Structure 1
Amino acid sequence: MSRDVDALGRLDSWEGVRAVVAGFGVSGFAAADNLTHLGASVTALDENAAGKEEKAELLEVLGATVRLEPGATAVLPDGCDVLVTSPGWRPDAPLLAAARERGIPVWGEVELAWRLRHPEHDTPWLAVTGTNGKTTTVQMLETILRAGGLRTVAAGNVGLPIVEAVMDPEPWDVLAVELSSFQLHYTSSMSAQASAVLNVAEDHLDWYATIDPADPMRAYAADKGRIFERAQRACVYNVADPVTEQLVRDADVVEGARAVGFTLGMPGVGMLGLVEDLLVDRAFIEERDTSAAELCSVSELSSQAPHHVANALAAAALARAHGVSRAAVREGLTRFHAGGHRIETVAESGGVTWVDDSKATNPHAARASLEAFESVVWVAGGLAKGATFEDLVAHVKGRLRGVVLLGRDRDLIAAALARHAPDVPVIVVDGADTGATDEHGPMGRVVEAAAGLAQPGDTVLLAPGCASMDMFTDYGARGDAFAAAVRAHLA
C-alpha cells in the first residue's frame, strides 16, 4: 500500500515510504542517505557509476538499493511513493514523466530539505538566485553573517548540500542558500526569510524549451521567480533589471514582506545603492525617508567591477533583512575575496594583463566581465546552451581589440561578430576534442593567437560566454588550462 508523503516531516516515521532518488551525485547521495536514515526504503538510480562506487557501497550497507549502470533510469520502479530528483534532470526524462503520469510527487533536494527542517529550531534561509553572480553573492553573504557572530554556512548549489545542512544535529543560526533555476523548478513549499534575484538573462534555454517550446525564456524566468514565493521579510531585486522587479510583483509573499531594490545609482527609499564611492542602506534604517546609512566604500571591496559591487549590495540587503549590523556588513564585505576563475588576474607582461573569468558561462556574465575593461582581446566559445550573442556583441564591440574563438559553438559568436563588429579581427582555433594545456594544444594556440592581437594596455580576457563541457570537465578546468597556457607562453 502506498504512503502519503505530503505531510511527512523531520520527526515523522518514514518507515514504509518507498523513495526513488534520480541521480547519484552530491545532492542525490545526500538525499538518499538522509531518507535512509529516516527509515524510508530508498532506491537510488544513476546511469554512471564513475567515482560513486564507495558511496553506493555505504548506502547499500545501510539498507538502500543503488543501481549505477546504463539504463538504470529508464524505468520507474514499481511502488514508488515519492521521486526525489537531482537538479538538472529535464522534466521530460522518462523517470520523471512516469512519476507524473502515476500522480507520484516529484521533489527536488531543496524541497526535501525544506520539509526536513526541525520544527524546534526553524533555521531561517536567505536565498539567492540569478543567471550570474549567485555563488559570489552567497559567499559574500556567508562572510557577512559570520562577521556578525552567526553560525552559518553556504549551502544548496554551492558549499554544503542543503539536505545535509538542515539535518545537522547542531542547528545553524541562519543559512546562506544558493539556488539554481533547476533546483527552484522542483521546489514548491520553501518560504525563505529573504530572497534575491540578481538578474535574469538567457541561459539554459535548451533545457527550458522542453517546458515551453514557444517561450523558453518565460519558463526560465518563472522558475527564478519561485524564490520569492512565500518570502517572509524581503524580496531583493535588481533595479537595473525590470524582470527581477516584475517577479517580485508577481510573487505571493507573506504579509509584511518588503520589496528591496539594489542599484549602482543613487538609491530611492527602500533600496541599497551608491552615493559617490559609498555603498549605502536606505531600506533598513528608521530614517530612510530622509537619509542613507554608509556600509563601506567601493574602494574597500576586492574588486570594483560593477557586477561585483552589485553582488555586494545584494548580499548586504539580505544580511540587513536578517538584522545583521552595518558594522558586520562592512567587515564581511571588506574581508571577502572571490573564488578562482572569477575575473582572476593570471599574469601581467609587456603592458598586457591576462585575466581568467572562465566562470562567465553565458552571454550575460561575459558582458559584465567585458564591461570591466576598456580594451580587450576576448577569448570566447564553448557550449552555448541555446543562448544567442547578438546583444552581447552589439554592446561590447567598442571595447574589442580582437577575438579568439574556440569550442563547439564558436561559429555562433563568429556570426554575431561578423554582423555587429565586422572590423574586429577574429581568429578561430580548431581542436574541440581535447583540453590540452601545452603550447601545442588548443588552449596553447588560443593564447598564442591572443598574444598576437594584444597591445600594451590591453586585457586578454577569458570570458567564454559558454559552458565548458565540450572540451573540459568544468569551467575550473578550462580556467586552469588557460592559466597554464599563459604561463607557458610567458616563460
Structure 2
Amino acid sequence: MTIDVTDLAGRHVTVAGLGVSGVPAARALRGLGATVTVVNGSDGEPQRAQAAELEPLGITVRLGDGTASNSGSAAGLPEGTELIVTTPGWKPTSPLFLAAEKAGVPVWGDVELAWRLRGPDSPPWLAVTGTNGKTTTVRMLASILEAAGLRTAAVGNIGVSLLDIVLGETPYDVLAVELSSYQLHWAPSLRAHSGAVLNLAPDHLDWHGSMAAYAADKGRIYEGNQVACVYNAADPATEDLVRAADVEEGCRAIGFTLGTPGPSQLGVVENILVDRAFVTNRQKSAQELAEVADVNPPAPHNIANALAAAALARAYGVPPQAVRDGLRAFRPDPHRVEHVADVEGVSYVDDSKATNTHAAEASLGAYEHIVWVAGGLAKGATFDELVLAAAPRLRGAVLIGADRALIREALARHAADVPVVDLDRTDTGAMAAAVREAARLARPGDTVLLAPACASMDMFTNYNKRGDAFAAAVHDLASGPVTDEQ
C-alpha cells in the first residue's frame, strides 16, 4: 500500500504510542484530515491526561491495549488502518507491526512523517546519532549555529518534536537534529544536509536483534547526505557506514580525531581544535577553530563531541569564529560529567547519564585517580573490558543496584587490589550511603565519579533522579562530617 502524505484526508491512521512524539503526531495527522486512532500499552495517569487532550479533537485513544504492547499477544490492527505512525522505542517485532506487515500497511516513524511534511522552504537538517554523546553534540552544534547568527533549534530525540518544528510558524535557517537508532529505523526517506555518527558500541540489542542491525540503523543517517558524512576516525565502524552509504554526488567523508588531523579531518594540535577539511588547501594548511579550554568540560570524549559539532557546522558554512564562540557559550545538560562540589580536597562528579559501558569508559578516562560509584540494571552488558581499561585509575569502587555483582566479579578478575564496597541495597537511600563510602575511600586530589555503566530503573525513575540523589548526598556531605549512619 502506498500512502501520499499530501493525501491523508479521510485516511485511517493508527499512531503507536503517546508521549513527546505520539501526541504531536496524532494532532498533526488529525489536522491533515486523517481519522486517527492512538494505541498505547500503558494506562496510567500521564497517559489518561494526554488522552483527555486528544479526544476532544476527534481522536480515538485506546489505553492498555494488548495490540499496543511490545510484549502483548494481541495482533489485530485497529479496523480500517491504512498507515501506522510509530513513536520511538516500539520494537519491529511488536504484534501491531507484524500485523501491519501481513496486511501490507506501511509503518512510518514520527521523524519520517515530519520529513515528508516539510514544505519547500523548510530548513536543512544537520543530523547526529551515535551510541553516546548525541544530545551534547546537538546542543553544541545549535550553540555554534546561533553564534553564527543563524536561526536554529536543537530538536528530535533531544525532547523537542520535529513535527512541532516542521508544522510550526517559527522560521528557521537550519536545524540541529538528534536521531536515535529507533527513529532512524523508521525513517527511510530521510536525506540530511550532513550527518554524523559519533561512535558505535553495543546498545539496545534487544530491540534491534543484533549489533549488525543496530549499526545499519545508525548508518541510515548518512543515506542521501548532500555535503558531509562526519565519522569518528577512532571508531572504524563509523567510517565503514560512510563507505556503505548512498550519498549525493560531491558529498564528502569528514573525519574527526583527538590527534593531529589529516586532510579532510578535524582534530587537535597542541591544545587547539583545528580544521583540515573545510579550508582552501587542506593538504598543506589548517584553520584554528577553538582551544581545548573552550570546551566545557574539556574531557576527551567531550572534545570529540565538540569536533563533530564543529564539522557539521563547518559543512554548513559557519565561520571559524562562530565555532569558538558557540563552544564557549555552551553549557552541558545536568548529569553529564557535571562537577557537583569539592569536599576536603576530593572532587565529586555526576555522570549519571553514563548508562552503558561505552559512556562509562569515556567518563572514567577523563580523570587520573577515581573512586567509582557504579551499578544498576546491566541490560545484558558485560564489564571486563571496562574494568581492564579503568583499573589503573581506580582508588576504589562502591557498587549499588540490582546487577552490581557483575561489576564486582569483573573487578575481582581484573583489579583485585582495588578496594570494593558492595552495598546490598536497591532503595533510593543507598546513594547517600554510597557517597559516604566513597568519601572514606577517596584521598585529596581524587575524583569520586558516578558513572554507573547501567540503567537506573531498578532504583530510580530515571538517570536524572539518580544524579539528583548523588548530588544531594554530596551536598549533605559538604555540610557536615562523614558519619557511620546507614
TM-score band w.r.t. shorter chain = over 0.9
Distance 1:46 1:159 in 2: 19
Structure 2 match to 1:66: 61
* 2:2/2:106 contact within 8 Å kept: no
Aligned partner of 1:478 in structure 2 is 466
Going from structure 1 to structure 2, the CA distance change for 1:161 and 1:392 (only over 3 Å counts) comes to: same
Q: Is 1:95 aligned to 2:96, yes or no?
A: yes
| Root mean square deviation of aligned Cα | 1.3
Deviation sequence 1:200-222 (CA, Å, 0-9, x none): 0121122233xxxxxx1111111
Match of 1:196 in 2: 196
User: How much has 1:124 moved relative to structure 2?
Assistant: 0.3
1:206 corresponds to which letter in structure 2? D
One-letter amino acid of the structure 2 residue matched with residue 476 of structure 1: N
What secondary structure sits across from 1:114 in the alignment? helix
TM-score normalized by structure 1? 0.94
8 A Cα contact 1:4 1:81, kept in partner: no
Q: Provide the residue aligned with 1:212 in structure 2.
A: none
Does residue 76 in structure 1 map to residue 64 in structure 2? Answer: no
- Worse-superposed segment, 311-320 or 297-306: 297-306
Q: Which residue of 2 aligns with 1:426?
A: 420
Contact 1:152–1:176 (CA under 8 A) maintained in structure 2: yes
- Point out where structure 1 has 5 or more consecutive residues left out of the alignment: 210-215, 436-440
**Aligned counterparts, 1:263-412, within 5 A:** 263-412=257-406
Question: What is the correspondence of 1:74-223 to structure 2 with a 5 Å cutoff?
Answer: 74=74, 75-118=76-119, 120-209=120-209, 216-223=210-217
* AA aligned opposite 2:437: A
Report if the CA contact (8 A) 2:17-2:39 is conserved.
Answer: yes
Residues 127 and 305 from structure 1, CA distance in 2 versus in 1: closer, same or farther, beyond 3 angstroms?
A: same
Q: In 1, are the aligned partners of 2:67 and 2:96 still within 8 Å (CA)?
A: no
- The residue number in structure 1 matching 2:48 is 53
Q: C-alpha distance in 2, partners of 1:289/1:64?
A: 59
> Separation in 1 of the partners of 2:332 and 2:363?
14
Which amino acid counterpart does residue 208 of structure 2 have in structure 1? Y
- The alpha-carbon deviation at position 70 of structure 1 amounts to 5.1
- 1:252: Cα distance to partner? 0.9
- Residues 482 and 224 of structure 1, relative CA distance in 2, 3 Å threshold: same
Amino acid at match of 2:290: C
Distance across 1 between alignment mates of 2:11 and 2:171: 26
Alpha-carbon deviations, 1:324-375, whole Å to 9, x = none?
1111111101111111111111111111111100011110110110011011
TM-score w.r.t. the length of structure 2 is 0.95
Describe the superposition over 1:374-426 as per-residue Cα deviations: whole angstroms up to 9, x where unpaired. Answer: 11010111122222211111111100111111112212211211111111111
| Structure 1 residue 72: Cα displacement | 5.8
Matched AA of 1:17: R
Contact 1:121/1:171 (CA < 8 Å) preserved in 2?
no
Instruction: For structure 2, list consecutive stretches of 5 or more residues without a partner in the other structure.
Output: 69-73, 480-486
| Secondary structure at 2:46 match in 1 | coil
CA contact under 8 A between 1:22 and 1:86: conserved in structure 2?
A: yes
| Counterpart pick for 1:26 among 20, 26, 41 | 20
Q: Which residue of 2 aligns with 1:253?
A: 247
Q: Is the 8 A contact 1:204 1:386 kept in 2?
A: no
1:63, distance to aligned residue in structure 2 (A): 1.0
Number of matched pairs = 472
- 1 CA distance for matches of 2:149 and 2:47? 37
Q: Could you tell me the percent identity over the aligned residues?
A: 59
What is the CA–CA distance in structure 2 between the aligned matches of 1:130 and 1:457, rounded to whole Å? 33
* Pair 1:275–1:198, CA change in 2 (3 A): same
Q: Deviations over 1:40-75 (max 9, x none)?
A: 111011122321333322221111111223536243
What is the alpha-carbon distance in structure 2 between the residues aligned to residue 385 and residue 243 of structure 1? 22
Residue 459 in structure 1 maps to residue 447 in structure 2: yes
Residue by residue over 1:270-320, the C-alpha shift from the partner in whole angstroms, topping out at 9 and shown as x without a partner, is 111111111111111112121000111111222211111111110000011
Contact residue 24 and residue 46 of structure 1 kept, 8 A: yes
